[in-house]
Amino acid sequence: MTEQTLSRGAMRLAAFDNPEMDFQLMRSLGAVAFGGGAVGEIARARAAITDGDPASWVAAFSALAAEVEAPKAGGDALRGAAALRASMYWRAAEYYAHPDQAAALGRKSRIVFQAAMELLGIACETIAVTLNGETLTGYLLPPVPAGKAPAPLIVALSGFDGSTEELYFEIAAAARRRGYACLLIEGPGQAGTRRENPNSVFTPDYAPVVHAFIDAVRNRPTLDLQRSALYGISFGGYFASQAIAAGAPCRALIANSPILDLQAYMTAFIGPGLCTDPPDIHVDDIDAVPDAALPPLLKHGLRTSCLRFGTDTFAGFLRRLGDFKVARPAAIASPSLALYGEGEGAEVERQAKAFAAQVSGPVILRQFRDGEGAGDHCQFGNLALSAAVVLDWLDDLWR
**Cβ count near 380 (within 10 Å):** 23
**Looking at the predicted structure, is the pLDDT value of residue 72 above 70?**
no
CB-facing half-sphere around the CA of 231: CA atoms within 13 A: 28
CA 253 to chain centre: 17
Q: What are 156-214's pLDDT values in tens digits?
A: 999 999 999 999 999 999 999 999 999 999 999 999 999 999 999 999 999 999 999 99
Kindly indicate the confidence band of residue 110, based on its pLDDT and cuts at 50, 70 and 90.
very high
Residue 46: its pLDDT value, please? 96
277 pLDDT tier (thresholds 50, 70, 90): confident
User: What is the spatial distance between Cα 123 and Cα 101, in angstroms, rounded to a whole number?
Assistant: 30
Query: Do the Cβ atoms of 258 and 237 come closer than 8 Å?
Result: yes
Residues 6+ apart with CB under 8 A from 399: none
Q: What is the pTM of this model?
A: 0.95
The yes/no answer on whether domain 124-261+324-399 falls in CATH 3.40.50.1820 is yes
Q: Quick one: average pLDDT of 267-286?
A: 87
Q: What was the pLDDT predicted at 176? A: 97
| Contact criterion met (CB below 8 Å) for 299 and 393 | no
Domain with CATH 1.20.1440.110 in the chain: 16-122
145 preceded by cis ω (within 30°)? yes
Mean pLDDT of the chain: 94
Residue 300: band (very low, low, confident or very high) from pLDDT cuts 50, 70, 90: very high
- What integer pLDDT is reported at residue 396 of this predicted model? 97
Q: Which segments of the chain belong to CATH 3.40.50.1820?
A: 124-261+324-399
pLDDT tens column, 359-393: 999 999 999 999 999 999 999 999 999 999 999 99
Q: Does the pLDDT at position 399 exceed 80?
A: no
Region 223-243: what's the mean pLDDT? 97
Catalytic site positions:
234
16-122, what's its fold? de novo design (two linked rop proteins) (1.20.1440)
Confidence class for position 79, pLDDT limits 50, 70, 90: very high
